[in-house]
Chains A and B, each alone.
Chain A
């Protein structure tokens, strides 16, 4: 037997008039960790979708372990021992976590049409233990769980089939540092066991560190495959974009730079079970970073500041008007903006048009006489936004779910930045976007900072926090565990030390 597990030859896939995969050749060795790099829309996810049976190929062939392979459902792929964790959230939110682990494969627990739930939960727990995953409440429904927890469930589902080929499509981005470390170990372990792993991540350094080889896609075609030894991220970027990427990524200054004026004060914020006695000030023109492990409560802080935690104790005060923010409505009308982590679920109306999404937070300020919302005016605002923020789309009436991740995020950010803001709360603003858009978002943040906005940057990615913030607050178990100013101490090791 050869040591090639999967061989893809001449794969084509069209979506309408768009060609998502063009003559793709791709082969994987046993025990190999392969990275797939490319900008948003370069066809990475499409390629993996076809391998894992989520969508079917138009032309070309796939050979798995020497035999022709053409799955028409993820279940069939699972039978061939191919497991996938998809980029978009892939759990059934109304079912308990344990059932989600075995979704579609419940027959093993079924006798006479009745599912033996206790056996299922036991087996699910066993899977979590076996792979060393963060334990999750298996009997709770997934709907209210955090993204990270849901990703764990998906990971357990993919691993429970004991896969020979595991596909991880942008998994690390939703995870915090401790779970990332867990995942890295898991990858090492699987690799040692001779399993093959395919990874997509926008964090190129991470990809180079983890992978043996990286295949770069551009516009649906394979540009080339490189061995990771000695590969520089810049070279990878060049291959992805097809030209030199020269934009400044993070901030280059190493001193804190903000005005003395306090814009927003948070006093003793507590949300039971999530955060406790969190107090801080944000100044004009400051980027205040928040980081911490999962369960540290950083995401809840963002929600609480924007008035989205009804059971919160403590006060959030806008200093200029000495106004207390009690609900999101007050926040919205007083120059605050909130960009949630779960873009598709909490921020954008996926089935609605770009224009409706774009003008949504500005509805009150666009009102004319008799609260008239002039459709033409709304359209102009959205068209200007599309031009200003370089959003790639077919027009303002295109539906949101037709846009790529990066463009969705541009709509999501742009619609707030057109407003006259004082405070901007960003929860993982670069989650699931490629290098180009990421750089663009950082540029927007720098502009906003220069205009004097106070920015709360909540992020799971330490390099991002270090690269952008003036001050960083580190949280642990819902409490503030440390605070750093931009300067010599601003390095990953020191921050992690306080996080754990």
Chain B
């Protein structure tokens, strides 16, 4: 009997997070970890973390959801229309969430019932809905968020809500059969099917959850931006996927998908963005280039450690 090996790849997200934090603390001469900036950082991360909480269900299946960003924008503008029509913030929130879940369900149906590859299905939704969002915004002028929504920008309300959302999704993902089914589908869909797991239903639910969190994050985003905008949610889906993969989830999903990885990944992405901003590279060519470079390094190391683990295990155990 061999001792169970301590697994290095479980550590990679922690290590990347700490290294990034240290590097930027040094480069920004300490202003990175000033209390003000830390609270800024958390504030900026909220939206991303929420979206990651739902999308991880999709990533666990080895699939992608490219419609997260556009879903965020679409739920926002439809919610906005509902608010204008009724004047009720509650109706706005409910509408936005329903729209988000609805888009997720459409994604899930396309993928599970009609066997469209997830990349193509969600890409089509991304392009199509972006057109509708732009159209609505071209006829309805930019609106400002209601007072009730603006309350969400207050940290004392925002953070408890964030924690609540994370706890609920963490529980669903790590401690219920739904999370297990999603991971099993990523491991080997044929196995999940042969055993008798509800494969189709799990796919639909995963996309619905991804849509739900996209809609929740859109409400927080409105609160932060003070209203909807035309560029809302662009590239957001990429950021969500980057966070999940940088956190150490492999593209194949399966048992490598863990909630903690998604959340750490979200922080890593935000630290890089925030650090470069403090250094004065905000929205410049340099910033994007450096972001890309850093992400590539982290992704390389993640995959490298995972593959090495596989290799060690495989060769050690092949005939044992």
C-beta contact mask, B166-182 vs A, less than 8 Å → 1, else 0?
A: 00000100011110110
Q: How far is the CA of A332 from the CA of B191 in the complex (A)?
A: 13
- B320 CB contacts on chain A under 8 angstroms: 15, 18, 20, 41, 402, 404
Q: Which residues of A contact B (CB under 8 A)?
A: 15-18, 20, 41, 43, 45-46, 306-308, 327-333, 338, 340, 345-353, 356, 360-361, 363-364, 367, 370-375, 392-395, 397-399, 401-404
Contact pick for A372, options B176, B254, B314, CB 8 Å:
B176
Do A20 and B2 touch across chains, with their CB atoms under 8 A apart? no
How many inter-chain residue pairs (CB < 8 Å) link A and B?
134
What residues of chain B lie closer than 8 Å to A333, measured between beta carbons? Answer: 196
Chain B, range 1-52, C-beta contacts under 8 Å to A? 1-4
> Do the beta carbons of A15 and B319 come within 8 Å of each other?
yes
In the complex, the chain A residue whose C-beta lies closest to that of B4 is A395
Q: Is the CB of A394 within 8 A of B175?
A: no
Q: Which of B177, B198, B317 neighbours the largest number of chain A CB atoms within 10 Å of its CB?
A: B317
Query: In the complex, A340→B319 CA distance in Å?
Result: 23
Contact, CB under 8 Å: B255 / A43: no
Assuming the contacts A349-B187, A373-B177, asked whether A15 and B255 have C-beta atoms less than 8 A apart, the reply is no
| Complex CA–CA separation, A83 to B188 (angstroms) | 31
Contact B197 A329, beta carbon cutoff 8 Å: yes
The answer to whether A347 and B255 touch (CB under 8 A), given A15-B315, A41-B320, is: no
State A20–B313 Cα separation when bound (angstroms). Answer: 14
**C-alpha spacing A374/B188, complex, angstroms:** 23
Contacting pair B255 A351 (CB below 8 A): yes
Whether B195 contacts A361 by the Cβ 8 Å rule is yes
Evaluate contact between A402 and B314: CB separation under 8 angstroms. yes
Contact status of A367 and B196, CB under 8 A, knowing A17-B2, A353-B255, A402-B313: no
The B interface, classified by DSSP as helix, strand, loop or mixed, is: helix
A16 to B311, CA, bound (A): 10
Q: How many residues of B contact A (CB 8 A)?
A: 35
Flag if B254 contacts A328 (CB, 8 Å). Answer: no
Closest chain-B Cβ to A98's Cβ sits at a distance in Å of 25
Q: Given A15-B316, A306-B196, A402-B313, are A347 and B191 neighbors across the interface (CB < 8 Å)?
A: yes
Besides A347-B191, A352-B184, 12 other A-B contacts (C-beta < 8 A): A15-B315, A16-B316, A17-B316, A41-B320, A46-B319, A328-B196, A332-B196, A356-B183, A360-B195, A361-B196, A373-B177, A402-B313
* Pairs A–B under 8 Å by Cβ, sample size 16: A18-B320, A43-B319, A45-B319, A306-B194, A332-B197, A338-B194, A346-B190, A347-B191, A351-B255, A361-B195, A364-B177, A371-B178, A395-B4, A398-B4, A398-B313, A399-B317
Query: Is there an interface contact between B176 and A403, defined as CB atoms closer than 8 Å?
Result: no
B318 within 8 A of A: yes
B312 within 8 A of A: yes
Closest to B1 in A: A394
